[in-house]
């Protein structure tokens, strides 16, 4: 059985500002880097065979902190990128709701029906996510693998594992550097851990 450790990236300045990052390549904030280092130092599994990441720097640098602890190199995969927010990237929810009221209204209540202008749908995101993840699972049978990515794409992976409709995507919380564990075999998915931030022992790193 392959065990996947899904990790969300550390905090960025756009996280603090409430700006939708999507595939914009935003770097970790100072606190985000501290969170990544705490994640690496307190990682919940001592035996890791490989570390994968989105090719966006906020996820890649989070993964690199973990990879260094295990003497591994990060393998970047474009397919693990965050959802493409298209015309919404760099905007706050308030700005989105003002300019696209219909889409803004359904974004949290019915994300599976939301049309993001010049962006991706959540259904497409989930398909992309599962294609990338299945490739990783196939390459590492019976191993422990870290996959660093982003809030929305991780939620779609967890929704698939939990047999949860995408409508309830936002019912899954994902904090910065949260760890999620999913076990995979040929027929089953077993969610072992959700949104763990036990590694953030320093209270300042939880803000």
> Angle formed by the axes of helices 30-41 and 57-70, to 10°?
30
pLDDT tens digit at each of 207 positions of the chain: 999 999 999 999 999 999 999 999 999 999 999 999 999 999 999 999 999 999 999 999 999 999 999 999 999 999 999 999 999 999 999 999 999 999 988 999 999 999 999 999 999 999 999 999 999 999 999 999 999 999 999 999 999 999 999 999 999 999 999 999 999 987 889 999 999 999 997 555 555
Q: Are 180 and 145 in contact (CB under 8 A)?
A: no
Q: In terms of DSSP bridges, do strands 179-184 and 2-8 run parallel, antiparallel, or are they unpaired? A: antiparallel
User: Which residues are the active-site residues?
Assistant: 9, 150
Q: What is the CA radius of gyration of the chain?
A: 16
Query: Domain 2-206 falls in which CATH fold?
Result: Rossmann fold (3.40.50)
Question: Domain residues of the chain, as ranges?
Answer: 2-206
Helix intervals (H) in 48-139: 57-70, 93-99, 101-109, 122-139
Give CA–CA dist 153/166, Å, rounded.
11
Q: Model pTM?
A: 0.95
Give CA–CA dist 58/83, Å, rounded.
14
């Amino acid at each position: 059985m392959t065990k996947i450790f899904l990790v969300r990236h550390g905090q960025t300045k756009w996280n603090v500002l409430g700006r939708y990052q999507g595939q914009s390549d935003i770097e970790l904030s100072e606190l985000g880097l501290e969170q990544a280092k705490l994640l690496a130092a307190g990682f919940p599994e001592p035996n890791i065979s490989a570390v994968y990441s989105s090719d966006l720097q906020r996820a890649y640098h989070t993964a690199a902190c973990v990879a260094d602890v295990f003497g591994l190199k990060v393998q970047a995969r474009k397919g693990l990128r965050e959802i493409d927010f298209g015309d919404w990237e760099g905007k706050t929810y308030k700005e989105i709701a003002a300019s696209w009221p219909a889409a803004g209204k359904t974004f949290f209540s019915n994300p599976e029906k939301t049309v993001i202008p010049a962006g991706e749908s959540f259904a497409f995101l989930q398909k992309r996510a599962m294609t990338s993840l299945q490739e990783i699972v196939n390459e590492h049978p019976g191993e422990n693998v870290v996959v660093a990515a982003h809030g929305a794409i991780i939620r779609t992976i967890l929704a698939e594992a939990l047999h949860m409709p995408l409508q309830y995507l936002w019912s899954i919380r994902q904090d910065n550097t949260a760890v999620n564990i999913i076990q995979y075999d040929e027929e089953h998915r077993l969610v072992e851990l959700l949104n763990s931030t036990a590694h953030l022992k320093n209270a300042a790193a939880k803000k």
